[in-house]
Copies of this chain bind each other. A is one copy, B any other.
């Protein structure tokens, strides 16, 4: 059985193969569209699949951090031919194709397809683990030091999870289609592996949901920490204001160029006024505490 591997969907070789194997023009168009989402489409003569293997690349916005990126792989699996179109610079696609070549069987394109999908799905786990690590770090930091950088990371991960979740939901639907479709290319013998793949995608989606919950928790912690801190700062201001008010008021009074103030001419005036000031401050602080304001 021939297996054609193309590095680029714009390769004119694809047009030639489309003619030879009667590939539907819409599928060719899909393969050449970089934005096409994950899907499986079964015709009477072949199965067309688009998957999106993930890999971690350095994040240009956060030096030292990694972010997931996707490069599509397109597969046309007929009864007696297999065409794969994958970017040779994507290590995940390469690993999937290599495993299919090693463990696959030339006579079963369905098995090859299921092996490729299985490897792609298995390689989503490191991406999920990567998010787990980053979220754990954020959770540890957010209680100690709720800085705006944490917020920025929370929203960056949220955005990446939105993309990852979309790919995973479509991958789950695709693997369900490969199980349930009456004309599926996967024969009964390989269905347990397909079910296993489906279970893995379901578990991945479960993890993404949990991560979204955890990120929302982190966001709530951040916001409540900020409002807590504002509250604390306000209290400091109030305590400071309270401590200093009697001093300011009393010293202001004795700074007036007026006659008739008590202790005005006493040689221990300063001591008496200091005593009054300390007592006034103490009463004020005690009153605030009593009224549960502090």
Chain A contacts to B: CB under 8 angstroms: 24, 26, 37, 39, 143, 148, 151-152, 155, 158-159, 162-163, 166, 192-193, 196, 199, 203, 206, 210, 213-214, 217, 219-238, 240-242, 244-245, 247-249, 251-261, 263-271, 273, 288, 293
Q: How many copies does the complex hold?
A: 5
- Quick one: given A217-B155, A217-B159, are A257 and B257 in contact (CB under 8 Å)? yes
Please report the C-alpha to C-alpha distance between residue A26 and residue B191 in the assembled complex, in whole angstroms.
12
CB distance B159 to A214 under 8 Å? yes
CB distance A227 to B225 under 8 Å? no
CB distance A226 to B223 under 8 Å? no
Q: Which of A151, A240, A257, A288 has the most CB of B within 10 A?
A: A257
Please report the C-alpha to C-alpha distance between residue A252 and residue B220 in the assembled complex, in whole angstroms.
45
CB distance A254 to B264 under 8 Å? no
Closest B residue, CB atoms, query A257: B254
| 7 further A-B pairs in the complex, CB-CB below 8 A; given A148-B224, A227-B227, A259-B270 | A148-B228, A166-B206, A219-B220, A247-B249, A257-B257, A259-B266, A259-B269
CB distance A217 to B158 under 8 Å? yes
